[in-house]
Every structure is written in C-alpha cells, then in structure tokens.
Amino acid sequence: MVESDLHTHTLYSDGSASPEEMVRSALSLGVKKLGISDHGYTSFDESYCMKKSAVSSYLREIGALKEKYKGEIEILAGVEWDLFSEGDIKAFDYAIGSVHYLKVGGEYIPVDESPSLLVSACEKYFSGDFYALTDRYYQEVAALAEIPTVSIVGHFDLIKKFNEKERLFPESDPRYVASWKRAADALLQKRKAFEINTGAMHRGYLSTPYPSKNVFEYLKDRGAKFTFGSDSHSPSTIGYLPPETEKEYDL
Ligand SMILES: [Zn+2]
Ligand SMILES: [Zn+2]
C-alpha cells in the first residue's frame, strides 16, 4: 500500500468525483498524502481539462479540505501540466509535467486516445516510421525539462500505452532506446522526479506501470527520485499498486 499518491483527477477536469470524495476515499484506503492534479488548460482541446476560470475555485475548495482534514491526511492542490498547457502554472502547490499530444503539421495528435489514431498519424506525418513518431514524442518529453515549475515527469513513456505484448513496436529497438534515453538525460540533468504511474494498469491497457522496468532501472542508476501516482479518475483506484509491482519497483 502506498502512503502518497500525487496523481489524481476530479470533476474539475476529467475525473468522476469531487475533491472531497477523493479525499475521503484516500483516507479510507490509508493514504497519508494525496495530491490532486487536475489537467491544466489546453486551448486546442477543452474536452478534458480544467477551465481557466475554474482555477481559483479549485484552489479554494482544496484549500478548505486541507483545513478540514488537517491531522488526518496531507492534501496538495497540484496540476497535471501538459507541455502545451496555458495559464499560471505557479498557482498550484506542484506541477506534474506530461506530454499528451504530438504537435505535427499544425495539428495536436493525442498519443493516448487510440492505437488506430496513432497508426494513421504515423502514416500521415512520419511515412509509417513508428520510431520517427516515438522520437518526436520523446523530443517533446525532453522539452518538459525546460519548465522550471515542473517537478515531476508524468507517465514518462505514455507512448507505450497501446504496446502491451509489444503489439506496435519492440521496446528494445535501438532507435526507441536512444530516443527515451535522450529525454531521460535531459530531465535528469534538471533534477526532475519521475512518477511510477499505474493508470494504464487499472484501466486494463498494460500489465506494467509507466515507466517500463528497464527505463526505471536506467533512471534509478542515475540517482532519479520517484513519486507514486495512480492517475485515478475515480475514488476506488487511489493508491492502486499491485503487490508484484510494488516488489518489482521496490516501492
Ligand atoms: Zn496524463
Ligand atoms: Zn493524469
């Protein structure tokens, strides 16, 4: 069981429960520190993120919960900041930096929506070369190193979401490895922390967390700090961490 879960979503973005419902669930699950990290605003896709005008009530509402549950659980008002988010990142207690889109040809292509969308974007923009696409993804991930307020890198290898059993590409391919290592090195240099994110596990996409074990080992060997994030969009999955994952990642 984890004591700290720093990646959760509420009704302020694409979650299904209020901040207080998330807090009460965290309490009942024995979590001692809960970070609420709703999605930062992206003007080109308003479907899933927090409205700019909602930030002040978000901070106020979570602020009131901090007081109400003082002594029982530590609560933080964070944000999951997309590389292309807009607004005041400094308004939050902390920021997780994430890449959810590839920006190509003036389009923003979501990387975690569906495998068919990724495959067609690969045909359209990368001549069908999947490693050119994954390289673009990791170039964007590396750019998170340049956002000083970002302290945690969210789901570092989200691009593998639809790659269970290496359906789309072998992760051992040298081009893929070179791409993620470049991003990892840039982020390590700026002392960013990385999260162990189990979101795709409890949603049934992957049997392993982000990042993959070999990526985790690479980061760990270079002194990376890690946080835990369930990426919960509902109360029941807060702190989700199967015992075998806990053991494998030495959490
Ligand atoms: Zn995310
Ligand atoms: Zn998230």
- pLDDT per residue as tens digits for the range 165-196: 999 999 999 999 999 999 999 999 999 999 99
| Whole-structure pTM value | 0.97
Per-residue pLDDT tens digits for 19-42: 999 999 999 999 999 999 999 999
Q: From ligand 1's centre to the CA of 159, what distance in Å? A: 11
Q: Which ligand is nearest to the CA of 13?
A: 2
Q: What was the pLDDT predicted at 57? A: 98
227 vs 251, which has greater pLDDT? 227
Q: Are 55 and 88 in contact (CB under 8 A)?
A: yes
pLDDT over 90 (residue 1) = no
Calculate mean pLDDT across residues 233-250. Answer: 95
Mean of the per-residue pLDDT values of the chain: 97
Per-residue pLDDT tens digits for 90-110: 999 999 999 999 999 899 999
Calculate mean pLDDT across residues 136-162. Answer: 98
Q: From ligand 2's centre to the CA of 39, what distance in Å? A: 7
Q: Which ligand is nearest to the CA of 78?
A: 2
Q: From ligand 2's centre to the CA of 127, what distance in Å? A: 30
pLDDT band at 11 (very low <50, low <70, confident <90, very high): very high
Calculate mean pLDDT across residues 70-89. Answer: 98
251 vs 74, which has greater pLDDT? 74
Q: From ligand 1's centre to the CA of 100, what distance in Å? A: 6
Q: From ligand 2's centre to the CA of 108, what distance in Å? A: 18
CATH number for the domain whose boundaries are 4-248:
3.20.20.140
If one counts every other C-beta atom within 10 angstroms of the C-beta of residue 123, the result is 12
Residue ranges per structural domain of the chain: 4-248
Q: Which ligand is nearest to the CA of 8?
A: 2
pLDDT band at 77 (very low <50, low <70, confident <90, very high): very high
